[in-house]
Structure 1
Amino acid sequence: MKEIEIKSVLEVFDSFDELPEDIQKLMHQSMIVRDKAYAPYSEFLVGAALLLENGEVILGNNQENACYPSGLCAERTAIYYAGANFPEVPVLKMALCAKSLKYQLLTPTPPCGACRQAIGEYELKQKKPIEIYFMGETGKVVKSKSLVNLLPLTFDNSYL
């Protein structure tokens, strides 16, 4: 048996104010759309703002359904919209924020596994990384230079 070590490198900003100005603007857009999420069951709101290479900003939020598997996360709502409407335009950056209506969420909240897989597909398709910034309602913000830091063993088309 051989053991391997996988290393992820993330940057942590102590507060929203430490972010570069362009990322603050993108994150602010994700906050606005987060508060419009449809989450009557979990009361957990998530917003996503994607910056495309052409300057377009795509917004998405989570959309729940009484039949839980029928809902969709904010990240996939936004990235699928970008893929449908701007199929040849790379996604450069993604700002994500989450908020609970039950408690104050201070922990940076990364994408779920399904969203990581979807983002990974778009990184593979565009052959360039997507910077991902994520936070809770307030507090620290985490930056990943690529989805690979969040899902290092991504399932991709090389296995098919």
Structure 2
Amino acid sequence: MAMGFDLTPLYRSTVGFDRLFDMLQQAARAEGMGSWPPYNIEKTGEDEYRISMAVAGFGESEIQVVQQGNTLVVSGQKHPEPEGVEVLHRGIATRSFKQSFNLADHVKVLAANLENGLLTIEMKREVPEALKPRRIEIATGGQKAIRQDNAAQPQIGIAKAA
């Protein structure tokens, strides 16, 4: 099943996030999951993303958003109809759903909000300092490179005669 949106422009404007978009697209194609409920994946900042899902008819207590490792699972289960209610026409979907999204490394879910039938999930990629690139000084000619460790260096001095 073809997806309703094209992520090609996002590939051109991001470096290092190709895996995130590939995994999100694969998840949408798997087992017809891209069909219902409809959703958008948006890049809202340099390292910020949003998934918006149209879940009209579902209440906050009927939806679960769970992140475990690099997997985000959004599922919905409607409560049974109240006793004595006979539905003559059902135009609002009430079927259960489960959407799985594979997230790139270091992507964390910050918040989920349900308003006017739209579930929004805010995410951010937070790379730990230890994994961020660092600049390495290059020595020139006969100079020795300055060591970047924090080990104490022995002090060499000349003793003065008293």
Q: Normalising to structure 1: TM-score of the pair?
A: 0.26
Bigger RCO of structures 1 and 2 (CA < 8 A, at least 6 apart): 1
Larger Rg: 2
Q: Normalising to structure 2: TM-score of the pair?
A: 0.26
Higher helix share: 1
Higher strand share: 2
